[in-house]
């Protein structure tokens, strides 16, 4: 399936989400209608991919700023000289990767990020793919009864157990994550969001940052959260992206989960990530 858009070629990558956008050079300044078309594709597909882009860090930043102000990540190492760019790095001798579990970035913030623009600088000879999952499809596939129950619930999200000083993840990341004293964010969000731009209903809990349902204990919440995580991780809600140097993934952080596959031990993988600020959730 291939659709000819007004300006770009949009090739969906799976049934649920994802599309590769061809015929655009992101190092050039884009027009407002071109940016609007990319926003439209992001809303429709949840994650959009680009290939063979030769961007300097300045061009990466300039592209991101067309979608909103940059959200500087508190916990990641920045690319040298560019505080706006978070480095997602794994060295040949490191075992743990960053983002190696299903999550959505920044859900612990009151106003979670719109999305991230991840650019591959150095890729392993094989492996190191990123998987994405569509939280609208996951929501739609639930029973009417469970949709109704979840529709009135809210969930608590936190950065503390992931990025705080006591976190095993921070220890295992061996210096790639820092600033642990800043891991004090807690936020309460509806379990089912109405997406601020597409209007689609989104299942908005994730295994990394959601701690419990509001008004429920963590123990009471665990079985229902475990069901939702297992359900949302079904392959039919997913797409998988194989990187090359110069590939870009731009995902909507409200509408999707992502998972960095850690199957390339002994090789380096270096990505540059810029996160764009979002608007209030409803």
Measured between alpha carbons, how far is 281 from 108 in angstroms, rounded to an integer? 12
Contact status: 98 vs ligand SIN (CB under 6 A): yes
273 is catalytic: yes
Contact status: 88 vs ligand SIN (CB under 6 A): yes
Binding mask of the shown chain, residues 108 to 147, with x at each position contacting ligand SIN by CB under 6 A: --------x-x-----------x-----------------
Contact status: 107 vs ligand SIN (CB under 6 A): no
Contact status: 99 vs ligand SIN (CB under 6 A): yes
Contact 113, 279 (CB under 8 A): no
Contact status: 170 vs ligand SIN (CB under 6 A): no
105 is catalytic: yes
Candidate list 232, 260, 276, 281; residue touching ligand SIN; CB under 6 A: 260
Region binding ligand SIN by CB under 6 A among candidate stretches 34-42, 97-105, 106-114, 193-201: 97-105
Contact 247, 128 (CB under 8 A): no
Name the residue among 264, 254, 250, 269 with its Cα closest to residue 51: 250
Contact status: 70 vs ligand SIN (CB under 6 A): no
Measured between alpha carbons, how far is 209 from 186 in angstroms, rounded to an integer? 9
204 Cβ neighbours under 8 A, 6+ residues apart: 104, 107, 135, 155, 189, 190, 191, 192, 193, 254, 281
Strand pairing of 19-22 and 47-50? Answer: parallel
Residues marked as catalytic:
103, 105, 258, 273
What residue ranges bind ligand SIN (CB under 6 A)?
A: 88, 98-99, 105, 116, 118, 130, 258, 260, 271, 273
């Amino acid at each position: 399936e291939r659709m000819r858009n007004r300006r770009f070629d949009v090739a969906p990558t799976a049934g649920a989400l994802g599309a590769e956008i061809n015929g655009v050079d992101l190092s050039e300044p884009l027009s407002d209608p071109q940016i609007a078309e990319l926003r439209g594709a992001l809303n429709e597909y949840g994650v959009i991919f680009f290939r063979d882009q030769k961007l300097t860090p300045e061009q990466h930043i300039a592209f991101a700023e067309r979608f909103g102000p940059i959200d500087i990540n508190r916990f990641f190492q920045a690319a040298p000289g560019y505080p706006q760019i978070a480095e997602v790095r794994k060295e040949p001798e490191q075992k743990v990767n960053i983002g190696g579990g299903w999550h959505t970035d920044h859900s612990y913030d009151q106003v979670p990020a719109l999305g991230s623009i991840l650019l591959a600088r150095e890729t392993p000879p094989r492996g190191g793919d990123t998987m994405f999952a569509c939280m609208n499809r996951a929501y739609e596939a639930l029973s009417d009864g469970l949709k109704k129950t979840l529709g009135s619930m809210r969930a608590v999200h936190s950065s503390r157990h992931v990025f705080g000083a006591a976190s095993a993840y921070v220890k295992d990341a061996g210096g790639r994550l820092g600033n642990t004293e800043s891991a004090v964010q807690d936020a309460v969000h509806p379990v089912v969001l109405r997406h601020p731009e597409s209007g689609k209903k989104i299942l908005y809990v994730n295994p990394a940052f959601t701690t419990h349902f509001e008004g429920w204990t963590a123990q009471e919440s665990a079985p229902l959260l475990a069901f939702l995580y297992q359900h949302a991780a079904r392959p039919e809600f997913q797409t998988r992206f194989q990187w090359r140097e110069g590939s870009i993934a731009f995902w909507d952080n409200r509408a999707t989960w992502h998972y960095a596959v850690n199957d390339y031990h002994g090789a380096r993988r270096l990505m540059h990530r810029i996160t764009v600020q979002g608007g209030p959730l409803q």
